Amino acid sequence: MAQCRRTRERPGGADNKHARAPNRLPSLPVARAADTRSAQKKRNPIVEIVTIVVAALLIAFFVQLLLVKTYRIPSGSMEPTLAIGQRVLVNRIGMRFGDPSVGDIVVFHPPTGADPRNAPPICGNPAQGLGSSQACATATPKRSDQTFVKRVVGIGGDRLQIRDGHVYRNGRREPDAFTNPCGSGDGCTFSGTITVPNGSFFMMGDNRGQSDDSRFWGPVPKKWIIGTAIATYWPIDRIGFF
């Protein structure tokens, strides 16, 4: 009688030979604090300070080049409005979009007739200026390297006379309560009438008896004007806007 052999089944049966081990997710590396610190960019405080200073200087340079510049008043020709050593802010960009008006305080380059080597100052018309009956209406053609601060008292087309330091513009005396009296010295009276050339501006200091200005060396072309004074910031007790 044939004996039946009992075969011993392996766990999982015949299909187990095709079974695969379950997939395992790759283990993630554990970040270490030291590795994190080393991965960050190290900052050098000295480099940061130098960068900030350089950036600030560049901004200040372009602001002064294009927008606003500071000037120190070198003489008493604008007293009592501006004292020696007083500092003002000058709007430079305004000259690109318009002209200064009568009464504005401006910073500009005068003609070379105003240079110190010329004593007395030189007018472009020898028959005008100091020692004549007319203020100078014609400037010398070249620009000086000097920088002056004065007030605009006449613009192109205006007819001007100067009497005892007072400006008569187109037949009417201009308000000048802000000025120091001129007195009766040289340059205080030019009874002859002049006409300011178109595109030019006639400048005078508020200290009428102590100012070297357009009366002696002539009007200033617009292209020589740097800008209009908009404020004063030093000394502290004179801070304000014009």
Name the nearest CA neighbour of 130 among 120, 140, 117.
Answer: 120
Q: What is the pTM of this model?
A: 0.75
Does residue 221 sit within a domain? yes
Answer yes or no: is 80 within a domain: yes
Task: Flag whether pLDDT at 60 surpasses 50.
Answer: yes
User: 39 pLDDT exceeds 60?
Assistant: no
Position with higher pLDDT, 90 vs 2: 90
The CATH number of the domain where 115 resides is what?
2.10.109.10
pLDDT of residue 1 exceeding 60: no
Residue 132 lies in a domain: yes
Is 106 part of any domain? yes
Domain extent at residue 208? 70-241
Q: How far apart are CA 71 and CA 115, in angstroms?
A: 19
Band of the pLDDT at 63, cuts 50, 70, 90? low
- Nearest-10 Cα torsion for 123, 126, 129, 132: 180
DSSP per position, 125-147? STTSSTTSSB---S--SSBPS--
Q: Is the pLDDT of residue 90 over 80?
A: yes
- How many domains are there within the chain? 1
214 belongs to a structural domain: yes
In a domain, 206, yes or no: yes
Task: Provide the 3-class DSSP secondary structure of residue 223.
Answer: helix
Q: Which of 13-22, 92-101, 141-150, 175-184 has the highest mean pLDDT?
A: 141-150
Span of 56-60, 92-96, 216-220 with lowest mean pLDDT: 56-60
Residue 120: inside a domain, yes or no?
Answer: yes
Is residue 22 one of the residues assigned to a domain?
no
8 pLDDT more than 60: no
User: How many residues are present in the chain?
Assistant: 242
Across the chain, mean pLDDT equals 84
- The pLDDT of residue 175 is 96
